[in-house]
Amino acid sequence: NAGVTQTPKFRVLKTGQSMTLLCAQDMNHEYMYWYRQDPGMGLRLIHYSVGEGTTAKGEVPDGYNVSRLKKQNFLLGLESAAPSQTSVYFCASSYEGQGAPNQPQHFGDGTRLSIL
């Protein structure tokens, strides 16, 4: 019962480099989300997906791209990393949308990303 798995767990990048964070869920959830967590800011939604082949912008989408080619996977890409993107990134999934009662999100354990 893996739930939501994020890879990698840690990464250090140089400014301008690119990388992709992978999120995989085995719960057959329709909805998937990418958040970033910064000190004193809580969790902020970057992008989300309401089903395979769909993506939508969240609260802080600039500098990131996402893809959902398969229902179980949700990829977050940084095309040209910047120091402001240093953060802890969490992926989550849910059976129904975020606002649906009694359908809380299931989170992965996070990816700690440092941009030098």
Partner 1 sequence: DQQVKQNSPSLSVQEGRISILNCDYTNSMFDYFLWYKKYPAEGPTFLISISSIKDKNEDGRFTVFLNKSAKHLSLHIVPSQPGDSAVYFCAASGKTSYDKVIFGPGTSLSVIP
Binding site for partner 1 (CB under 8 A): 4, 35, 40-45, 48, 58-59, 90, 92, 96-110
Phi, psi of 84 (to 5 degrees): -70, -10
Q: Which is nearer to partner 1, 16 or 97 (CB)?
A: 97
Q: Minimum Å distance from CB 15 to partner 1?
A: 26
CB nearer partner 1, residue 85 or residue 94: 94
Which spans in the chain are helix H?
Answer: none
Task: Quote the tokens at residue 77.
Answer: 């890409």
Q: Closest Cα to residue 47, out of 4, 15, 100, 91?
A: 91
> Which C-beta is closer to partner 1: that of 62 or that of 99?
99
